[in-house]
Amino acid sequence: MTLADLFRFSLKGLTGHGLRTALSLLGVVIGVAAVLILTALGEGARRYVIDQFAGLGTNLLIVVPGKTETTGTVGAGGVPNDLTLQDAAALVRAIPEIQRVAPLTMGTEQVAFGERRRQVAILGTTYDYMLARQIEIAKGTFLPDEEMFRGSPVAVVGPKLAREIFAGEDPVGKIIRVGGWRMRVVGVLAWQGVKMGVDFDDLAMVPVSTAMQMFNRTSLFRILIQSSSHADLDMLRDKSRQLLTERHGEEDITVISQDALLTTFSGILAALTLALGAITAISLTVAGIGIMNVMLVSVSERTREVGLLKALGVGRRQILSVFLAEAALLSTLGGLIGLGVGWSAVAVLVRIYPAFPASTPNWAVAAALTVSMAVGITFGLLPARRASRLDPVAALAGR
């Protein structure tokens, strides 16, 4: 029996029971498509996080109040000290490897122009923040390059906020009210979207000292440090931690590197993607059981056919190969259709949500197709062996 004969014989056996074959085929299609879709979502989440961190800028350290890991005995005053503008200024003075420091404070307040008003996030920072984060300005200028303790009554607004409250007017030079403060708009940001949970299109930026007075605060939310060289980041992290520990009298801050955050998130999401692929592969096992049931029924319905083949001198190995070929053809066809369905679903998802870079990794495609074929052959082995061991006389008699 040639390979072409084997293929035609197997295809005829499957098409002879169309509904049953289609249902088994559907199980494989759903399993393979699920693997592709879920791994694409996991990989898309990983790439999204990487893109978000890439948008932060380069060679950055983030100083966060509070220590994430504590050793030794907790002192009487367990509350960490606040991060202050004085801390930010001390970093600039004491560590020459620092290229720039951007203190940050955040809150929400109502921004109004005439009768139009909008509740938005207010970010207090300095001119160095634009350089560290590589922020683009669409109109006007950024916050003035002035000493961080000064609080000029100026603001930079996001493009969405500008569109909503100015309704087509040029915002630059206009006076707005931010809470109870009158401020002059000096610039409008370029469209950036949401980055690390902050919608830069719908916020207002003001000098950090002004924001601290506006929200009646003495503490900072974060301090952003940019190194002049990527090679200096580890040394700069240690120096910054040591300096602030000396100023506070205890190690009550955490200095996080951008690379460390990116590596951690990337590793977590890669493991999640792998887990999603493994979980959905279980559905292929269920599909394999369906294939086995179809083949068992096929063997029982074709006993006379098998008996006739054996009476004509067809050997056990050839009978075995016929039924294995049917199972392999069923699982392979289902796998290929599942690939098409999965890729189409991912393409539709990306088209609907272009900001989410969903993409099926190559290993998931290869694994899904390989597993579907292996499952079909494995679960088709039992029916094939049963067919090959039928007694020709009993088979011809339909027993």
Q: Return the pLDDT at 76.
A: 39
The mean pLDDT of 161-185, rounded to a whole number, is 92
pLDDT of residue 205 exceeding 90, the answer is yes
Question: In 179-221, where do the E strands start and end?
Answer: 181-189, 194-195, 198-199, 203-207
Burial 163-198 (b: 16+ CB within 10 A, else e): ebbbeeeebbebebebeebebebbbbbeebeebeee
Read off the tokens for 185.
């708009």
At residue 384 the predicted structure's pLDDT band, cuts being 50, 70 and 90, is low
Contact 119, 147 (CB under 8 A): no
Q: Return the pLDDT at 4.
A: 59
- Sequence-distant contacts of 306-310: CB under 8 A, at least 24 apart: 306/387, 306/390, 306/395, 307/390, 307/391, 307/392, 307/393, 307/394, 307/395, 307/396, 307/397, 308/395, 308/396, 310/390, 310/392, 310/395
Q: Return the pLDDT at 394.
A: 54
pLDDT of residue 70 exceeding 50, the answer is no
Residue 154, by phi and psi: left (phi above 0), alpha (psi -120 to 50) or beta? beta
Q: Return the pLDDT at 6.
A: 55
Q: What is the mean pLDDT of the chain?
A: 79
Q: Return the pLDDT at 332.
A: 83
Hunting for tokens 């999965």 — which residue is that?
342
Condensed to tens digits (0 to 9), the pLDDT of residues 272-315 reads 777 777 777 676 777 677 767 666 666 655 555 655 555 555 55
Of 60, 106, 65, 75, residue with least CA distance to 244: 65
Dist CA 142 CA 139 (whole Å): 9
Contact 111, 185 (CB under 8 A): no
The mean pLDDT of 179-187, rounded to a whole number, is 93
| Domain coordinates in residue numbering, the chain | 3-52+263-396, 81-249
Dist CA 334 CA 340 (whole Å): 10
Condensed to tens digits (0 to 9), the pLDDT of residues 219-262 reads 899 999 988 776 677 888 889 999 999 998 888 888 887 666 66
Dist CA 140 CA 132 (whole Å): 19
Dist CA 182 CA 205 (whole Å): 14
In the chain the first and final C-alpha atoms are separated, in Å, by 26
8 against 239, higher pLDDT? 239
What 8-state DSSP symbol labels residue 350? H
Is 0.85 surpassed by the pTM of this model?
no
Q: Return the pLDDT at 53.
A: 63
Q: What is the CA radius of gyration of the chain?
A: 33
Tell me how many helices (H) and strands (E) the chain has: 12, 12
| HEC profile of 244-306 | HHHHHCCCCEEEEEHHHHHHHHHHHHHHHHHHHHHHHHHHHHHHHHHHHHHHHHHHHHCHHHH
Condensed to tens digits (0 to 9), the pLDDT of residues 79-137 reads 467 889 999 999 989 998 888 999 999 999 999 998 899 999 999 999 999 988 888 99
At residue 327 the predicted structure's pLDDT band, cuts being 50, 70 and 90, is confident
Dist CA 182 CA 168 (whole Å): 21
